[in-house]
Amino acid sequence: MRKILSIICVLCCLFLFSGAAIGDTDIYHTPTKEQLSESEALKVATAFWLELCSVDISEEIDAGNYTALFGPGYQWGANTEDDCWIIEINMSADISIQPWIIIHGTSGHVVYWQYEDKEAKISYFGLLRNE
């Protein structure tokens, strides 16, 4: 009997705290006029990857083979509560790297970047600025 009550108590606790396990959901919104638009953020990302890796992602951008989200930077691992763009080129892209980048939503500075060399299967990442 004691074992059954223990199991019931554990199941009740799991049920009650299941909402806490879900955690916070990501926050997405539209930039204001003072913040970077999606097209401006894509230009920053394209120039950054061309300079850093000599990889031109403009064809992938033009083909819509990317994800661009806007919201507080901390939700993507950037050390800021300010709004940021996260731009990721999809894995199916026909380029040698799998890049993603976090761009400050107001200043346009690259806050964080990361990419995986698809052939070597090595990941590279770097924190640049905290603004």
Nearest to 115 by CA among 74, 73, 69, 55: 55
Cα separation, 52 vs 97, whole angstroms: 12
> Residue 111 has what pLDDT?
92
DSSP string, 75-125: GGT-S-SSEEEEEEE-TT-SSSEEEEEEEETTT--EEEEEEEETTTTEEEE
- pLDDT, averaged per 10 consecutive residues of the chain (131 residues), comes to 63 52 73 95 95 88 93 90 92 78 94 86 69 43
Q: Are residues 86 and 68 in contact, defined by beta-carbon separation less than 8 angstroms?
A: yes
> Residue 131 has what pLDDT?
43
Strand partners of residue 66: 89
Ordered strands of the 110-117 beta sheet: 66-72, 83-89, 97-104, 110-117, 122-127
